[in-house]
Structures are given as C-alpha cells and as structure tokens.
Structure 1
Amino acid sequence: MVVPLPSADPFYTWDGPLDDVAPGSVLDTRTMPYGFHDQDTPITSTQVLYRTTDQFDRPTTTVATILRPLLPGPAKLISYHMAYDALGSECDPSYTLTGNGTYSQAGTFEQGVITGYLASGYSVVVPDYEGPDLEWTIGRQSAYAALDGVRAAESVLGLPASTPVGLAGYSGGSVPTQWGAEVAPAYAPELNIVGAAAGGLPVNLAHNLPYVSGSKDWAGVIPALIVAYQRTYGLDTAAFLNPYGQQIVDTVSSQCINAFASHYPGLTDTEMLQGPYTSLLEIPGVVRAINDNIMGTAGTPQVPMLLAVGDVDGTGDSVMITADVEGLAHEYCERGVAVTYAQYDRLSHSDAFLPFQAQTAQFFTDRFAGAAPTDNCAAVGPGNALAPTPVP
C-alpha cells in the first residue's frame, strides 16, 4: 500500500488547540498495514496522533505505531524506539513500518526485533519521537514523545496504567529510552515502567564530535547535528558555516542517516566553518545545545537499566564513546539505580547491535517476570564525567 509522506499527509497535522489537552491524549487514529519494503504482511497496525511536549515544555503532537501481539496472553507493552536518526519525514517509523520508504539494513534488523516481540506476546508501540520537525538527538523532547506514546497506546489498547512497560532502543533509539527513564518519575509517574534497555548511547556529543570528525563512516553526522540544532535552538548557521558547510547542511536536511552518515568520508567540522572558528565546540550556541542534551542530567531513573556499548578501538564503537556510557552507568550506580553495564569489546557500533538485542530480550524476560533486579555496579569503572563543556 502506497501512502503519502508524513509531510504531505493530513493525518499528521492537528489544527485544534492543545494547551488544555493532557499529554498523551489521543487526537486521531487509523488502521494501517504493517509492511516490509513493499511486501505485505497479514499484520495491521493502529497509527495514533497524540499530544506531547517539546524540549521547551510547549504542547506539540506526533504519531506512533501500535502493534498488537501475535499470541494472546497477559498484557505487556514495549515502547520500541527505532534508530531512524532522521532529518526527513520519509524516515519516520510510522511511514517505513507500512512497507514504504527506501531500504535500510538497520531498519530491517529493527523491524525484525519488533516482530520478535510481537511473536513473544508483547504489544509494541513505536513512536515518531523526533516529532513533526525531525529534531534528532534532542533528549527531553524525545523522552516526552516516547512516554506520551505509551499513554496513547494504553488508551487505544484499553490497557490500564498498571500494565508493565519496557523502554528499548539502540543508537538514536537510546535517546528516548535513556531520557525517558530519567524524566518518567516526574513526567509520567503513573506508568508502570519495569525496565529500560539502551545501547550505543550518545551521552555527551561534545566528546563524539572530535571522535567522528575525519571519520570514514560517520563524519556525515556532523552536518546532520547542525540541522537538528538549527531546528530546535534556532542556530544562526550563517554566522559560522562557510559556503561548503552550508551546502552540505542543505543537502542532508531532508535525508535519513543511511544517506548521510558515510557519504562524506574524511569530513571534518573545520572544513565546514568560516574563520575565526576551527571547531564547532568554539561556537557558543552549539555548546549550549550540546550541554542541554547531556545524558544523566535530567533526573534519576527509578527502574532497572541495561546500558551497553561497543569498544572497537579503545575509545569507542566508531561513533559512541565507551567511557561516556560507562560514566553514565557509574553515575546511576552511585545514585542507587540497578544498572547492568555491558561492554562489547572489539565490536563496532553496527556489530554491537545484535548482542545488545539478545541481552535486551533476556533483560526484559526477567523484568516482566518480576524477577529481583540485579546489577554489576561493583565492576563498573568511573568512566567519563557528565560535566558540561564551558561555553566559549
């Protein structure tokens, strides 16, 4: 079934007032196919348009895909956060899960994971957590979209707030997962979240930027990050980008990550900047945006956590910083959170996806069975601190 892009689909637009509408309220629903790159399946989904909250506590809306389990059983819900890492609406999970959009190996693997949860008796909700403006890596906003997606899913499915819920996501999907666990005690205390599993986390992008600058496979995330910060924080890119940098930013501004991440091998942020700047970390607006999205700074999770990352070169998994994830785990341990920290040595970001998913499946089996929380905090090193970068 061919459907219009979300940017051209009126279902995604809500013109009514939102100020007096509670977060998570259902605004509209429709039945849609659950497809796989133009291949039909017998499964259908319910798409829900719902009210949520943006990074600055203003009401907004987004869409989630709700999937019912393939086997009957006790009610249990997974909020699965796909790593769609998108700047264009054709990357939205609500679009790609209908069988539309271009092929993505990562998306294919994730759809397999989602289908596995359905076959194991879970209901699954997959939110478009970047929101209508595709604001990538933005922490609190992504968390609110995920938590309100759970609220909306419970309403659509007729499930009580006591329904056990798991939050899961890898790479870009770790953003709503980790931030969701942090802000849930204050933002959605009624939800019965039993655990959160986040892998390949971008804990502090001030550390990731120098790591990927000049990279063969990941340098394209640099202009994409500029796009996201421009949209969210109103960065004046003309004040620091040179014509080449602006050209790349314009090119990636409607793309999915598989179109830009490795498309600029060897690109450095220095090449994109006009004088006197030689690094994005010399630009006050960029540093403020990064500091506003450092994980571990918005609250303390009250549920067991699985935090995982690869380490392929002694620094990170080729894009995420291993010591950052360890530092986040250590900080949570210090605050009394039951944390399982998993480090996949010699595995890159892509290669660590599968062992993380296997470990996550066992983690949730235990969490939903009501097993006593376990942790390996005694073995977690200090890692890197969560300190903000001084603003120039």
Structure 2
Amino acid sequence: MKRLSLLAAAVVAASALVAPGSSAAAPAGCTASEGDIFAPAAPLSGANGELLACREVTLPHVPGKIPMKAYQVRYVSSDLRGKKVPVTGFVAIPTAAWTKSARRPTVAFNPGTLGSGPQCAFSKQMTGAYQDAYEGDQIAEFLKAGFAVAATDGMGYTDGGVHTYMIGQNAGHSLLDIVRASRQIPGGTLDAQGQVAVSGYSEGGAASLWAAQVASSYAPELKVVGAAAGGVPGDLKMTAAKLNGGPFAGFLADAVVGLHEAYPTLPFDELMNDTGRKAVQDVKENCLFGTLGAFLGKKVESFTTQKYTLDQLYQLKDAAGLSWGQAVEEQKLGVGIGGRWSGAKWKIDFPTFQYRGALEEIIPVETQEETRRLYCKAGIPTRFKNSYAGEHLLTDGMAKKDVTDWIADRFAGKLMIGNCPLL
C-alpha cells in the first residue's frame, strides 16, 4: 500500500511538471492564462489540431459590438518537416443562431503582415494589445454573416519564438489546424462536419492558398469549399527584388529572418556584419510599422560582410547542399498543383477567389497575375478581380464584402463561374 501511495505521488508530481506545450488531454475548461497560451514552445506529441489550452476573451478591436463568444487558443500543428509545434490564435463564434444549414460554417483566417516578434501576434492585438493590426473589419464582416472565425497567429508567436514569415507549409498547416482546434473548445458549438473556407490578404493570402494546396493531404477530413486570397506574393524572388532598397524593405527583412528560422542550417549568422546583427534584432523587436520604419530604403547588401546581393545570397548553400535560392523557391505558389483526380503533388478540389488592387505598389502585379495563371492552367476554378481602386493596404478593406459574399456562396453550394483566360 505504501508503495502504491508513493507511486501515485510520483505520478502527480510528474504531471505537475508537464510543460504547457506538451501533449495532454484536451482542457476541461477555457481557464488558461495568457501566459499559458503563449508559453515557450516545448516538445509535443499530440495530434495535429489538438487543443492544448484556451481562455475566454473579448475582441475590442473587432468593431460593431457583435454578440459572440471568443477564445484565445493554443494548439498543435506541424512545420514543413513534420515537427510538432505549438501555435496560437483565436476563435470567435456569433451567439445569434445559425439557420442557413444544419451546421455553422467556419472561416479559417490568416492576417496580413503584423511583424515577427511574439508581441505582434494577431490574437494579442485583437484582444486588446493594439499595436498596428488592421484586420478587425474583415473579422467583423464574417461574424455579421454568421460565420465562425478561426484566426491563426501563425507559427512562431510563442514566447521566445520568431514567426516563420512566408513559409508556405507552416502557414497552411497552422490555418487548417486551428479549425480542428476550434471544434474541441469545451462547451463550444462548432461541429466537426461543418463546412470550412480559408481566407487572407497579403501574407494571409499566401497562407490561404497554401492551405488550399495542402488541405487534401494534410487535413482530408475538413470540408473545405473555397479559398479567398488577395494581394498574394506568389513568387518570393520576384517580390524580394521589388522590395529591396524600397519603402517597404521591412517586409523583405521579415522574410529573410523567417526563412532563417525555418531553415536554420542555411548560412546566416556567419555572414552578418554589425549592421546585419542589429537588423535581426530590429525585426524581432518591432511590429509592422516599426519594421517598415527601421528598414526604409535599406538593401540586403548592407547587412553582410561580403555585401552579398540577393542573387549572390541565393547561391549560398548549407552543408547538405541546400541553397537559399532553393529554400525561397519552395515557397512559390501554384507549383505542383492539380485537381482532385490529377497526379499532382497538391490536389485542390474547390474554387479560389484571387484579387488585387488596381494601384498595387508593394507586391509585383506580375507575380499575382502569374499565380492566377498557374491555378487556371492546373484546372482549378478561379475567379480573379483586379479592379479595386486602391493600393495594397486599402484594397484589403475594399474587398471585404466581396470576399464575404463569395464565401457565403460557397457555403450555400452555389456554382462559381470562373474567369480564367484562354491559355
């Protein structure tokens, strides 16, 4: 009996030492603290989408005082190499009854660029730590339509982490896994059979299309019916060439640090001069507008001891022969895609809505047009709109009703008429 008591005590003690990120039973209630949600990453062994922790919150930066239940969440996802990692985000569910079908549908949402450090996380900003988030109106539009919203922060926003900015599979996995997690919220009302649409703009647009590309292999049980993606940087090399030395070079700085975080074997620290080391710290310490200010007009050539250009950096390899250029190319959208019955690596069996502003000044128009062309060539039903009378940021807001209406039509099962050009 004494031995059994000692064993029981040992089990209790061991349980108390389990890190917040380790695999455990789903929480009995949403009673976690913000510290629990954003605790440093720890080894995980749970299933993709497993809910690790949640807490009930309000979303003061979602306008309109929409009646809802909202939760900040921590859940399991997998990075591009299959390593399990904790990811954070929030789930919002309107309290008004859903009457248009048997189950309330969910929009999986990825915000546009907010910055790379943990303090920039979308769910932190929407729950009150406002810095420079700008997606509250789109969240409100979805909620007013009656949709639940599962909004991921993306990988790397736990304490001590760095966001893996623009890493395609990481983004796609995070976006799909928060839908899985949203259905495990204690006392929650979302059904595992509910329909799903994915949506995002800019960085979020790339994440949306990556979620579309990986959905059939990574989350085949999810009933994804469409992907809306605006301002998409589909080709990072083309985008980097335009950003380098310009007013929006901060986005390039985020991308370089994000690539290093996702591909740590590539040469990086040893290349840096003092300016480069300071630049890495600036990326981690600033959010969107701070980063843009810190890197205004800066060129990558100024950050390395050898003054490497982008093209020269792309040639540098790690010990296994992987080059920076190959890592960047792996993020290109529209490569290896096809329909459900194709032999393509990434099978997509639902339509996409892709869009951009007529006055786009940040993401090259050419890469957005090319992503659309690749989707059309692969036979993916695609609707494209490029007539919004705005530049990059304003177009996000201008399109919000079109995006919401397009997603509503997909949830209603309406046929979409694409507008692919003759190829």
Question: Please, what TM-score do these two structures have when normalized by structure 2?
Answer: 0.79
Q: Contact conserved, 1:215 with 1:267, CA < 8 A, in 2? A: yes
Whole-angstrom CA distance in 1 between matches of 2:315 and 2:394: 33
What is the match of residue 388 of structure 1? none
Q: 1:297 aligns with which of 329, 332, 335?
A: 335
Q: Contact conserved, 1:5 with 1:90, CA < 8 A, in 2? A: no
What is the match of residue 53 of structure 1? 78
Whole-angstrom CA distance in 2 between matches of 1:204 and 1:230: 18
Query: Deviation string for 1:234-277 (max 9, x for gaps)?
Result: 14323333322222222222321221124332212222233262
Output the amino acid matched with 2:257: V
Output the amino acid matched with 2:178: G
Whole-angstrom CA distance in 2 between matches of 1:18 and 1:251: 30
What is the match of residue 176 of structure 2? 147
Q: Contact conserved, 2:230 with 2:355, CA < 8 A, in 1? A: yes
Q: CA deviation at 1:172?
A: 1.3
Q: Contact conserved, 1:204 with 1:324, CA < 8 A, in 2? A: yes
Whole-angstrom CA distance in 1 between matches of 2:36 and 2:42: 13
Q: CA deviation at 1:70?
A: 4.3
Q: CA deviation at 1:15?
A: 7.8
Whole-angstrom CA distance in 2 between matches of 1:85 and 1:344: 25
Q: CA deviation at 1:154?
A: 2.2
Q: Contact conserved, 1:77 with 1:165, CA < 8 A, in 2? A: yes
What is the match of residue 306 of structure 1? 353
Q: Contact conserved, 1:68 with 1:124, CA < 8 A, in 2? A: yes
Q: CA deviation at 1:282?
A: 4.4
Query: Deviation string for 1:159-210 (max 9, x for gaps)?
Result: 3332111111001111321100000011111111111100111111111111
Q: 2:124 aligns with which of 90, 95, 115?
A: 95
What is the match of residue 254 of structure 1? 285
- Comparing 181-190 and 75-84, the one that deviates more: 75-84
Q: Contact conserved, 2:66 with 2:94, CA < 8 A, in 1? A: no
- Whether 2:380 is the aligned partner of 1:337: answer yes
Output the amino acid matched with 2:355: A
- CA distance 1:14–1:277, shift in 2 (3 Å): closer
Q: Contact conserved, 1:137 with 1:175, CA < 8 A, in 2? A: yes
What is the match of residue 111 of structure 2? 82
Whole-angstrom CA distance in 2 between matches of 1:73 and 1:41: 14
Q: Contact conserved, 1:85 with 1:256, CA < 8 A, in 2? A: yes
Whole-angstrom CA distance in 2 between matches of 1:199 and 1:226: 22
What is the match of residue 18 of structure 1? 44
Whole-angstrom CA distance in 2 between matches of 1:276 and 1:80: 38
- CA distance 1:350–1:262, shift in 2 (3 Å): farther
What is the match of residue 261 of structure 2? 231
DSSP-derived class of the 1:155 partner: coil
Whole-angstrom CA distance in 2 between matches of 1:158 and 1:76: 11
Q: CA deviation at 1:343?
A: 1.6
What is the match of residue 377 of structure 1? 420
What is the match of residue 209 of structure 1? 240
Whole-angstrom CA distance in 2 between matches of 1:174 and 1:328: 11
For these two proteins, the number of residue pairs brought into alignment is: 365
Q: Percent identity?
A: 24
Q: CA deviation at 1:306?
A: 0.7
Q: CA deviation at 1:344?
A: 3.3
Whole-angstrom CA distance in 2 between matches of 1:289 and 1:200: 22
Alignment of 1:1-392 (within 5 A): 9-13=35-39, 18-19=44-45, 21-36=46-61, 43-74=68-99, 75-102=104-131, 104=132, 107-108=133-134, 110-131=135-156, 132=158, 133=161, 134-156=163-185, 157-216=188-247, 218-234=248-264, 235-275=266-306, 277-279=308-310, 280-284=313-317, 285-297=323-335, 299-312=346-359, 317-344=360-387, 347-378=390-421
- CA distance 1:17–1:352, shift in 2 (3 Å): closer
DSSP-derived class of the 2:116 partner: coil
DSSP-derived class of the 2:294 partner: coil
Q: Contact conserved, 2:68 with 2:94, CA < 8 A, in 1? A: no
Whole-angstrom CA distance in 2 between matches of 1:100 and 1:44: 19
- Comparing 228-237 and 168-177, the one that deviates more: 228-237
Whole-angstrom CA distance in 2 between matches of 1:185 and 1:41: 33
- CA distance 1:330–1:15, shift in 2 (3 Å): closer
Query: Deviation string for 1:331-377 (max 9, x for gaps)?
Result: 21122211011223764211321233232122112111110122001
Query: Deviation string for 1:98-135 (max 9, x for gaps)?
Result: 11132x2xx23x11221222122111111122333321
Q: CA deviation at 1:42?
A: 6.7
DSSP-derived class of the 1:56 partner: coil
DSSP-derived class of the 1:224 partner: helix
DSSP-derived class of the 2:405 partner: helix
- CA distance 1:113–1:346, shift in 2 (3 Å): closer
Whole-angstrom CA distance in 1 between matches of 2:379 and 2:352: 11
Output the amino acid matched with 1:363: W
* Bigger radius of gyration among the two: 2
Output the amino acid matched with 1:122: F
Whole-angstrom CA distance in 1 between matches of 2:390 and 2:40: 44
Output the amino acid matched with 2:118: S
Output the amino acid matched with 1:46: Y
DSSP-derived class of the 1:128 partner: strand
Output the amino acid matched with 1:245: G
Q: Contact conserved, 1:33 with 1:40, CA < 8 A, in 2? A: no
DSSP-derived class of the 1:246 partner: helix
Q: Contact conserved, 1:304 with 1:339, CA < 8 A, in 2? A: yes
Q: CA deviation at 1:32?
A: 1.7
Q: Contact conserved, 1:36 with 1:100, CA < 8 A, in 2? A: no
Output the amino acid matched with 1:293: Q
